[in-house]
Chains A and B, each alone.
Chain A
């Protein structure tokens, strides 16, 4: 089975900072990768799919890149409302979808 590993598991940054989260697949998954944001006490929300396609309504400060085994989610200018846990998810390969362990983003 393909394993998804995120790093770091948590980070603290200042408002306005550029934040980068990494997701690594144990095998190549082309661009079959999505990113979700889960704010405290809330339901996960889709941010990005196909590694780099921004979901409608998601602020443009969020971006995704990568293919194969290495992917990144970047927040170009961290805002207070971005405090959340972010998950990557691989799809379109057996046996089923799989999530990374999550990255908790806090404001310094």
Chain B
């Protein structure tokens, strides 16, 4: 069974940093692109960032470009999101999501992790 478990969320002051992790199991991690998607409480879904299976392709939403960095460690079956210069508008549940087909990059997401809540507030 595919499992994605996010961690690292919490309360952080504006301007500070936070690093999210996503531990993957149940599939061949280095065959699949991975993405981060966020959802502000009570709001819709917003794609944040994606990384290909070999880290050769990386993209960011304009709203986080220059502040967030996605990375992965295939040896550890783990995905990361380094979030710097956090703003109140970054407050959201952050989900890691596996791409639905191997060796694809910008595709549908299946499955999603349970999410980790990031709250940016003073």
Binding site for B on A (CB under 8 A): 34, 36, 38, 43-46, 49, 55, 87, 89, 91-102
Binding site for A on B (CB under 8 A): 35, 37, 44-47, 50, 59-62, 95, 100, 106-115
Interface secondary structure of A, over-half rule: loop
Q: Are A101 and B107 in contact (CB under 8 A)?
A: no
Q: Are B50 and A46 in contact (CB under 8 A)?
A: no
Given contacts A43-B95, A43-B114, A89-B108, are A97 and B35 in contact (CB under 8 A)?
A: yes
Q: Are A46 and B44 in contact (CB under 8 A)?
A: no
Among A43, A45, A97, A99, the one with the most B-chain Cβ atoms within 10 Å of its Cβ is A97
Q: Are B106 and A44 in contact (CB under 8 A)?
A: no
What is the distance, in angstroms, from A88's C-beta to the closest C-beta of chain B?
10
Q: Are A87 and B106 in contact (CB under 8 A)?
A: no
Q: Are A49 and B45 in contact (CB under 8 A)?
A: no
**Sample of 20 more A-B contacts, CB < 8 Å, known A43-B113, A43-B115, A100-B44:** A43-B95, A43-B112, A44-B45, A44-B112, A45-B111, A46-B100, A46-B111, A89-B45, A89-B108, A93-B106, A94-B106, A95-B61, A96-B47, A96-B60, A96-B61, A96-B106, A97-B50, A97-B106, A99-B45, A99-B47
Closest B residue to A1 by beta carbon equals: B62
Complex-state Cα separation, A96 to B45, whole angstroms: 13
Complex-state Cα separation, A92 to B104, whole angstroms: 9
Complex-state Cα separation, A98 to B46, whole angstroms: 7
